[in-house]
Structure 1
Amino acid sequence: MSTSLAIFRAPWCTEFPAGMTTWSVVKDDTREKRWRELLPRFFPRIALLACITVVVISLGVALTPGSPKASADQPFSEQARAAALSETLRLRAAGEQLVTPAAGAAPTGSQAPIAQTVNLLTDQARALLGPGDEPAAEPLPASSPATPSAAAQPGPASAAELAAALAASGSERLAEAAAADGGIARLLAAVGAAQLLEASSLAVATGSPAPAAADPASPALSGACRTPAATSLPAAAGTDGAADAEDASLEGALAAAVRTELETIYGYQVALTRLGGEQSSAAAKQLARHESLISGAETLSRAHCVPVPPREAGYTLEQSFLASPASGLGRLEAAALPVYGDLVALSDGETRQWAISGLVGAARRAELWGADAGSLPGLAADPASFPSLPTPSASPSTTR
């Protein structure tokens, strides 16, 4: 009897694990059954909530401003422009500190030339501003694409240090101009040339040691025709929009350089007959330099397979040139600056290096004869048209 009961036990007489009652199992089965019945009913609501969550997350990602790209992702020309702006602002801020006397201190004789330097750096910083640039009032660290960041570098603390820093910055800008694109190359060359000249002028005016930075050397040229010049390159920044299309090309820029040097040589030959003493010696030295420049311009023309403009017997000189030949030579040298600026923008390689060297040389010779090369030699633009610097500090009122 007991054996039959053990074999034919009723289905509900199931054995349960220790501690679990029949009531608890029935309760769990009821919950599971209820959940299975309710799940299809709540599924649309769950799916809707999931879709809303995905949409909210997507909108958040789309509306959150992305972090700016690293400078390494920017084109070299943009890096060079930003580095030039940063260093120019740093030097400008240092100059403002030097030109503002401390409380109770008497003004010094070096403050006027430093004020001129600050004005020059202000014009350059305004020219270097790009879309979206908002330079801070405090000096910004230099960050050249070719050198490590100078974030920890203090600003110049004296006129001598400012002159040395200007010369170093000018050399850096000229080196970057050799590798930058068109219009930016011309702008960097103009900034670099002016900073080199200003470094020398500031050192002389304040009795400081001459800066160690040297002017860029002209490369050795070969005249074999190897690459035909482009005939329709875009005009560079700062050029006259009304210029002929031929002028906005390497061929046109080389031809303009040849014609400018020929006219300048003629001017020096005439001036030598009217100058005396040290001016005559200086003119003879510069005439030899221009004879070398015309040879270089003609060599580059042949290297780019473009025709060389013929030499003319003479050129027309204004009566003011004959009356004051030294000033006339200054005007001739200043007139050559935009010509070399065009060639910087429309060339590359050794041709651009030659043009950069010619730009710096023309700017120095212009100042030698009393002409003002300006804050951006070689850039045909009015500084009054540049955007203003959004800084609370004001530059000294002394004008260059």
Structure 2
Amino acid sequence: MGSTSRRRDGGPATLSRAWRRVPLLLLTAALVVSTGTVVASITASAPPPSTTEQARLDALAGLEGLAAAFEKHDDGDSPTAALLRSQADLLTLTTSWPSGSPAAAETTEVPSAAGPDAPPAPQQPGAEDLAELAGSLLADARETDPGLARLLASIGASLYAQAQTLPGGTAVAPPWEDPEIPLEPTGCPAEAPTEDESGPATPASPTTAEAIAVVVLSQERLAYAYETVLPHLAGADRAAAAARLAAHTDSAEHWRSLAVAECLDLPLPEPAYPLGDEFASDPLPALEDAEAAALAPLADLVALSDGTVREHAVAGFAEAATELAASAGEVLPAPGLDDELRAAPTTAP
């Protein structure tokens, strides 16, 4: 009886059990504190944007800021502002956390890159402002992930083409540099085998060599088309076609030389290429359509390359898109991607 009474009154047995609980309580408290700290650090703020995401935000802010400046300067009736707005729409994408789960509620809005340190929009925007933004986008296209790279290159080329249509635009220098072909290598690594002990290799995504091969094919086909229709043209049309024939011949040689320097194997040129009947009946529109179609392989090469090859791809794409806009008299929001973007449901690639 005495022993039972002592336990009910908090005697030695009760104290012993209480002390055994102390380490468990301390461990639980430590877990709660550390877990709370981790949760707070996750929900407090989103991670910093990647280089590619920051390039997208910078491009979006630049397009929207310049569009607002053109609208204000032209009292709301500005074809250039409309072009810039349509290009900004192509850059509006949904963001997510690196894990793939949606961002927290307070971070789901696309942040604006036009912070307090952003340069103010010009009071009287013009061709130089468009060319400057074009140069920024083309520079970012050399460094970002493939999908955004080709879109930035396309929009940047369009901006410079639009600059050419504004007063003083033809005097604005292109915002890109034509990179030089690197010296040919003294030796190229042996080609990797296509099969191993497990059997034939599985199909892979397109390679840089394959992308360059498509560009070369399109340039050689265009040169052949101009050479074919040249005897049927006269006057200014003949002179313009002769210039384009020389340009596409040089372009094909340029890409073949770059492929050699990069140790990339390309197929040999074809002696002739099939052409549709429209090249004989109505050659000028057919040539213009072929010029437009040749932009897509250049855009793909921007995405499927890096380093030196991508630098050449960005410059070559921008030059070709600018020349096409000048000859066709129309500036598209995303040359080379327009058909693809029209087929897309709601978002840009």
Q: So what's the TM-score if we normalise by structure 1?
A: 0.66
The 5 A counterparts of 1:29-40 are none
Letter in 2 for 1:171: G
Query: Which segment is superposed worse, 91-100 or 267-276?
Result: 91-100
The 5 A counterparts of 1:290-329 are 290-329=248-287
Distance 1:166 1:351 in 2: 26
Equivalent in 164, 167, 172 of residue 212 of structure 1: 172
The 5 A counterparts of 1:9-158 are 53-64=29-40, 65-70=43-48, 74=50, 76-98=51-73, 101=76, 111-126=77-92, 130-131=95-96, 134-135=109-110, 140-142=112-114, 151-158=117-124
SS across alignment from 1:381: helix
SS across alignment from 1:79: helix
Letter in 1 for 2:62: E
Q: What residue is the counterpart of 1:190 in the other structure?
A: 154
Equivalent in 332, 341, 349 of residue 382 of structure 1: 341
SS across alignment from 2:335: coil
State the number of aligned residues. Answer: 316
Native 8 Å contact 1:326 1:369 kept in 2: no
Letter in 1 for 2:298: Y
Letter in 2 for 1:190: S
SS across alignment from 1:190: helix
SS across alignment from 2:328: coil
Determine if the alignment matches structure 1 residue 166 to structure 2 residue 130.
yes
Q: What residue is the counterpart of 1:235 in the other structure?
A: none
Query: Which segment is superposed worse, 208-217 or 347-356?
Result: 208-217
Native 8 Å contact 1:177 1:185 kept in 2: yes
Distance 1:118 1:249 in 2: 33
- In structure 1, the gaps of 5 or more residues are 1-37, 102-110, 143-148, 232-243, 390-400
Distance 1:217 1:180 in 2: 18
Distance 1:135 1:98 in 2: 27
Query: Which segment is superposed worse, 168-177 or 191-200?
Result: 191-200
Native 8 Å contact 1:333 1:365 kept in 2: no
1:10-55, Cα deviation, whole Å (9 max, x unpaired):
xxxxxxxxxxxxxxxxxxxxxxxxxxxx987975787777566545
Letter in 1 for 2:45: S
- What is the CA distance between 1:122 and its match in structure 2? 3.2
Determine if the alignment matches structure 1 residue 253 to structure 2 residue 219.
no
The 5 A counterparts of 1:214-293 are 214-222=174-182, 224-225=184-185, 226=187, 248-293=206-251
Q: So what's the TM-score if we normalise by structure 2?
A: 0.74
- What is the CA distance between 1:375 and its match in structure 2? 2.0
Letter in 2 for 1:340: L
Native 8 Å contact 2:142 2:306 kept in 1: yes
Whichever of the two has the greater Rg, that structure is 1
The alpha-carbon distance between structure 1 residues 245 and 278, as it changes in their structure 2 partners (threshold 3 A), is: farther
Distance 2:129 2:222 in 1: 33
Distance 1:100 1:358 in 2: 36
Q: Give the structure with the larger helix fraction.
A: 2
Native 8 Å contact 2:68 2:81 kept in 1: no
- What is the CA distance between 1:303 and its match in structure 2? 2.2
Distance 2:327 2:254 in 1: 23
Query: Which segment is superposed worse, 85-94 or 291-300?
Result: 85-94
- What is the CA distance between 1:171 and its match in structure 2? 0.6
Q: What residue is the counterpart of 1:330 in the other structure?
A: 288
Distance 1:316 1:359 in 2: 24
- In structure 2, the gaps of 5 or more residues are 1-13, 97-102, 193-201
Distance 2:171 2:189 in 1: 40
Native 8 Å contact 1:169 1:192 kept in 2: yes
- What is the CA distance between 1:97 and its match in structure 2? 4.1
Native 8 Å contact 2:67 2:81 kept in 1: no
The alpha-carbon distance between structure 1 residues 351 and 53, as it changes in their structure 2 partners (threshold 3 A), is: closer
Letter in 1 for 2:340: A
Native 8 Å contact 2:163 2:169 kept in 1: no
Distance 1:175 1:302 in 2: 25
- RMSD over aligned CA atoms reads 3.8
Q: What residue is the counterpart of 2:308 in the other structure?
A: 350
